[in-house]
Amino acid sequence: MGTLSKRKDIPPWVKIPDDLKDPEVFQVQTQLLEAMFGVGGSRIPYIERVSKVMLELKVLESSGLAEVVVYGSYLYKLRAKWMLQSMAEWHRQRQERGMLKLEDAMKALHLGPWMK
Mean pLDDT score, 82-90? 91
CA-to-CA distance for 47 and 113, rounded, in angstroms? 52
> Would you say the pTM of this structure is higher than 0.85?
no
In a domain, 7, yes or no: no
Average pLDDT, the chain: 82
pLDDT tens digits, one per residue of 91-102: 888 877 776 776
85: containing domain: 18-109
In a domain, 13, yes or no: no
DSSP bridge pairs for 29: 65
pLDDT tens digits, one per residue of 4-23: 335 678 898 998 888 889 99
Identity of residue 29: Q
Domain count of the fold of the chain: 1
In a domain, 12, yes or no: no
Backbone angles phi, psi at 65, to 5 degrees: -125, 160
